[in-house]
């Protein structure tokens, strides 16, 4: 049996950071990832933060990857952060940039597939120096202890022995489940996130969001866009795409089930978001049915080809790097020449094939993921024996009003887990007791753990300051009063101190309610908001079209087995599965696993496994 110092399970941003950090410390580690390529199953909102907290320390992404700031394929640096309260066509906006920049070095918008590939290249190169590296296409199905041996079983490889294991296998951690390290998360500890990536040329993004090519904006939404669920929506600017998504409390969804498909549509239909995503989209003319079949096929192919080349030219001309690339390649002498070519292609499309340009929007990817709420669900002891859990697998996500963080937490955890193991290897003390205790202690020192446990009064002050201009009398009396009281420094410090002693978790039902997430924002929008109208009717793709755009490698075996086919929870999955994998027949819920995007919404009452190596979904954006 082959033996490695450390085996890392899961090639998301956390697992990869663990691998890189172990290599930075000169230790041997291998990382097993079930996807055919690292990053293929990762989904994020997403913004990646780097923090500089005053009172506690954190390990940032740029500390792990020394060339992150110069080379990493991030999208845009978020310099504007705005919260919108919505009610029908009315929107009331508050600038939260100061809250976003609180204790932060930066926040970059990212697309996980691309970024994880870069992380993987860096980590792999370092790991190879110490006889380790990344092994994609391998699904870990079990871990067993035999005396002082830790044995890892996979679907694809012979057994592997390890001195220590880092489990970074995400929110639906199989390792946590198999080893009994924690119970499955309950719906009250989870959010369901749904996202679409929308294509939009770089120049249009810059102009529409008032940012330069490097900078970006983050827009958050509360109010009726969530269809009265606890949660919120977001629009983040990437280089030449937008991430449009929503994050909803799973409890709230179970209470009042609405399809994720409809949830994301409700966001898109909000007039402000509709205007954000709109673009010029070519529309084909119906092909004359009287023509011969061959001629119809010829026209169909020719039209598609012409549209494709128009699109490529347009994408290039509307982006700084695209223009440079075309001119450098010698294909065109100047920007004007490219524009001339673009309009000539447009004329050809119209004259030859009757293609018209209409205002609409272009979706390129639909995705979903579960997100753990660290305030409620984080593992108090994120280890079992010599297995250390990091990031989502340990339930460590931060949700505090508009403060949503996960990637940075997972990276910080990973560094702590890696350092714990590296120290233990150096001291030759790999006892389970030592590993678990050292890791737990290290996590307790993390700023992020504090964020999940306590209210930060300074952050609260910044947040309240942004709301100070709102006339108190217009807020629902209860919240108006609270805001008024909290705006007083002495009173706020006292009550935050008191709340932290009392236990922050106890206040959550009051802070996170339909009232705060839906009613108050709607009231604000109704009474102070500006009316926004959308200038077009968007054609929202059907669920089949959305799923059709995704890449799957189907496994003949289902990775999910329904345990309680007649339970209320499972019946709700018929509605809450983002890709409609569940149907109901004779009062029993059945699964059709093809098309499953492995979000784990149904995890609680199913025997849920990650797919076998190289099977299942492969995201292009993530």
Partner 1 sequence: MLTPLNIAVIVKLEPDFSEGNVSYNPDGTLNRAETKNILGPHSALAASAAFYSKVRYGAHVSIGTMGPPNADLILQSAQQISDADETYLFSDRIFAGADTLGTAELLKAGIQKMQGKMDLVFSGHRASDGETGQVGPQTAWKLGFTFLGNVIDYEVDVEKRTVRAKRSIRLQGFHDIIEEVEAPLPVFIAIDPSYKSVFNTASQRLACEKYKKEANDRAQNFKQYLKVLNAEQLGADPKLIGLAGSPTIVFKVEKIPKGKAGRQAEVVDGSSKEEMGRVVARLRQALSTMVIK
521 binds partner 1 (CB under 8 A): no
Token reading at 517: 């997430």
- Based on CB atoms, which residue is closest to partner 1, 150 or 495? 150
d(CA 277, CA 181): 43
Of 160, 268, 394, 589, the one binding partner 1 (CB under 8 A) is 160
User: How many other C-beta atoms can be found within 10 angstroms of the C-beta atom of residue 485?
Assistant: 11
Shortest distance, position 41 Cβ to partner 1, whole Å = 18
Q: Which stretch binds partner 1 (CB under 8 A): 156-164, 336-344, 452-460, 492-500?
A: 156-164
Shortest distance, position 293 Cβ to partner 1, whole Å = 5
Q: Which stretch binds partner 1 (CB under 8 A): 132-140, 174-182, 480-488, 572-580?
A: 132-140
Q: How many residues bind partner 1 (CB under 8 A)?
A: 19
Of 6, 8, 29, 30, the one binding partner 1 (CB under 8 A) is 30
Q: Which stretch binds partner 1 (CB under 8 A): 131-139, 376-384, 404-412, 434-442?
A: 131-139
For the stretch 257-279, what's the b/e string if a residue is b when 16 or more beta carbons lie within 10 angstroms of its beta carbon?
A: ebbbbebbbbbbebbbbbebbbb
d(CA 383, CA 440): 8
Shortest distance, position 288 Cβ to partner 1, whole Å = 12
Which residue do the tokens 């102070």 mark?
Answer: 528
The pairing of beta strand 241-249 with beta strand 231-237: antiparallel
d(CA 550, CA 334): 37
d(CA 150, CA 161): 6
505 binds partner 1 (CB under 8 A): no
- Based on CB atoms, which residue is closest to partner 1, 289 or 468? 289
d(CA 538, CA 522): 24
510 binds partner 1 (CB under 8 A): no
d(CA 393, CA 135): 20
Q: Which stretch binds partner 1 (CB under 8 A): 80-88, 264-272, 291-299, 358-366?
A: 291-299
Of 134, 166, 242, 272, the one binding partner 1 (CB under 8 A) is 134
Q: What is the DSSP string of 352-374?
A: HH--EEEEE-EEEEEEEEEEE-H
DSSP state, 518?
Answer: I
Of 296, 381, 513, 558, the one binding partner 1 (CB under 8 A) is 296
Of 2, 95, 148, 444, the one binding partner 1 (CB under 8 A) is 2
Q: Which residues pair with 191 in a beta bridge?
A: 249, 371
299 binds partner 1 (CB under 8 A): no
Binders of partner 1 among residues 316 to 355 (CB under 8 A) are none
Shortest distance, position 360 Cβ to partner 1, whole Å = 16
Shortest distance, position 123 Cβ to partner 1, whole Å = 12
d(CA 470, CA 478): 15
Of 22, 112, 135, 524, the one binding partner 1 (CB under 8 A) is 135
Token reading at 499: 């709340």
Shortest distance, position 166 Cβ to partner 1, whole Å = 16
- Based on CB atoms, which residue is closest to partner 1, 159 or 530? 159
- Based on CB atoms, which residue is closest to partner 1, 96 or 138? 138
Of 70, 146, 147, 158, the one binding partner 1 (CB under 8 A) is 158
- Based on CB atoms, which residue is closest to partner 1, 157 or 482? 157
| H-helix or E-strand spanning residue 249 | strand 241-249
Using DSSP, state whether 213 is helix, strand or coil.
coil
Shortest distance, position 385 Cβ to partner 1, whole Å = 21
Q: Which stretch binds partner 1 (CB under 8 A): 9-17, 129-137, 221-229, 422-430?
A: 129-137
> Crossing angle of helices 320-328/335-353, nearest 10°?
100
Q: How far is CA 609 from CA 110, 132, 139, 153, 561, in A?
A: 27, 26, 9, 14, 9
- Based on CB atoms, which residue is closest to partner 1, 2 or 554? 2
Shortest distance, position 128 Cβ to partner 1, whole Å = 6
Of 55, 146, 290, 293, the one binding partner 1 (CB under 8 A) is 293
The pairing of beta strand 616-618 with beta strand 551-553: antiparallel
> What are the backbone angles phi and psi of residue 16, rounded to the nearest 5°?
-65, -40
Of 132, 232, 260, 616, the one binding partner 1 (CB under 8 A) is 132
Shortest distance, position 156 Cβ to partner 1, whole Å = 7
- Based on CB atoms, which residue is closest to partner 1, 2 or 489? 2
Q: How far is CA 83 from CA 217, 464, 527, 531, in A?
A: 11, 13, 16, 16
> Crossing angle of helices 477-486/457-466, nearest 10°?
120
User: How many other C-beta atoms can be found within 10 angstroms of the C-beta atom of residue 386?
Assistant: 24
4 binds partner 1 (CB under 8 A): yes
Of 56, 157, 357, 550, the one binding partner 1 (CB under 8 A) is 157
Nearest Cα residue to 20 out of 427, 419, 449? 419
Nearest Cα residue to 202 out of 314, 45, 337, 89? 314
Q: Which stretch binds partner 1 (CB under 8 A): 12-20, 251-259, 293-301, 480-488?
A: 293-301
Binders of partner 1 among residues 196 to 235 (CB under 8 A) are none
Q: Which residues bind partner 1 (CB under 8 A)?
A: 2, 4, 30, 124, 128, 131-136, 138, 156-158, 160, 293, 296-297
């Amino acid at each position: 049996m082959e033996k490695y110092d450390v085996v890392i399970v899961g090639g998301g941003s956390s697992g990869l950071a663990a691998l890189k950090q172990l290599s930075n410390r000169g230790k041997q580690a291998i990382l097993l990832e079930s996807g055919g390529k690292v990053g293929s199953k990762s989904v994020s909102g997403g913004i990646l933060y780097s923090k500089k907290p005053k009172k506690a320390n954190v390990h940032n992404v740029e500390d792990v990857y020394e060339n992150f700031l110069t080379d990493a394929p991030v999208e845009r640096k978020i310099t504007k952060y705005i919260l919108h309260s919505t009610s029908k066509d009315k929107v009331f906006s508050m600038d939260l940039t100061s809250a976003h920049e609180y204790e932060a070095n930066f926040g970059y918008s990212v697309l996980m597939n691309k970024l994880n590939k870069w992380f993987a290249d860096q980590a792999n190169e370092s790991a190879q120096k110490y006889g380790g590296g990344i092994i994609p296409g391998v699904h870990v199905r079990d871990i067993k202890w035999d005396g002082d041996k830790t044995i890892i079983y996979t679907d694809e490889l012979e057994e592997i022995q390890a001195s220590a294991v880092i489990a970074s296998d995400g929110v639906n951690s199989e390792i946590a489940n198999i080893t009994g390290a924690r119970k499955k998360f309950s719906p009250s500890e989870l959010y369901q996130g749904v996202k679409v990536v929308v294509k939009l040329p770089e120049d249009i993004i810059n102009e529409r969001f008032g940012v330069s090519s490097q900078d970006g904006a983050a827009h958050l939404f509360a109010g009726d866009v969530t269809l009265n669920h606890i949660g919120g929506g977001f629009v983040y600017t990437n280089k030449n795409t937008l991430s449009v998504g929503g994050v909803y409390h799973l409890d709230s969804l179970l209470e009042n089930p609405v399809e994720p498909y409809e949830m994301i549509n409700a966001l898109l239909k909000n007039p402000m978001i509709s205007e954000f995503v709109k673009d010029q989209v070519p529309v084909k003319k119906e092909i004359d049915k009287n023509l011969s079949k061959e001629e119809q096929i010829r026209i169909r192919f020719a039209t598609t080809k012409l549209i494709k080349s128009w699109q490529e030219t347009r994408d290039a001309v509307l982006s700084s790097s695209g223009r440079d690339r075309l001119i450098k390649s010698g294909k065109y002498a100047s920007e004007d020449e490219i524009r001339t070519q673009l309009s000539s292609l447009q004329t050809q499309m119209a004259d030859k094939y009757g293609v018209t340009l209409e205002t609409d929007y272009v979706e390129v990817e639909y995705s979903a993921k579960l997100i753990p709420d660290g305030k409620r669900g984080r593992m108090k002891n994120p280890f079992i024996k010599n297995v250390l859990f990091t990031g989502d697998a340990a339930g460590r996500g931060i949700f505090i009003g508009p403060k949503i963080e996960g990637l940075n937490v997972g990276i910080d955890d990973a560094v702590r887990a890696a350092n714990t193991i590296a120290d233990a290897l150096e001291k030759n003390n790999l006892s389970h007791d030592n590993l678990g205790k050292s890791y737990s202690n290290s996590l307790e020192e993390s700023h992020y753990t504090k964020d999940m446990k306590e209210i930060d009064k300074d952050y609260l002050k910044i947040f309240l300051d942004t709301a100070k201009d709102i006339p108190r009398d217009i807020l629902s009396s209860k919240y108006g009063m609270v805001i008024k009281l909290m705006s007083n420094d002495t009173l706020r410090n006292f009550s935050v101190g008191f709340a932290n002693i009392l236990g922050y978790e106890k206040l959550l039902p009051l802070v996170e309610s339909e009232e705060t997430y839906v009613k108050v924002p709607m009231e604000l929008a109704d009474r102070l908001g500006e009316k926004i109208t959308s200038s077009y009717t968007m054609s929202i793709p059907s669920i089949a079209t959305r799923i059709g755009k995704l890449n799957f490698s189907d496994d003949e075996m289902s990775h999910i087995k329904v345990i309680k086919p007649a339970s209320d929870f499972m019946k709700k999955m018929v509605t809450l599965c983002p890709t409609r994998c569940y149907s109901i027949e004779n009062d029993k819920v059945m699964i059709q696993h093809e098309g499953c995007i492995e979000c784990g919404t149904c995890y609680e009452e199913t025997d849920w496994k990650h797919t076998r190596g190289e099977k299942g979904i492969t995201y292009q954006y993530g």
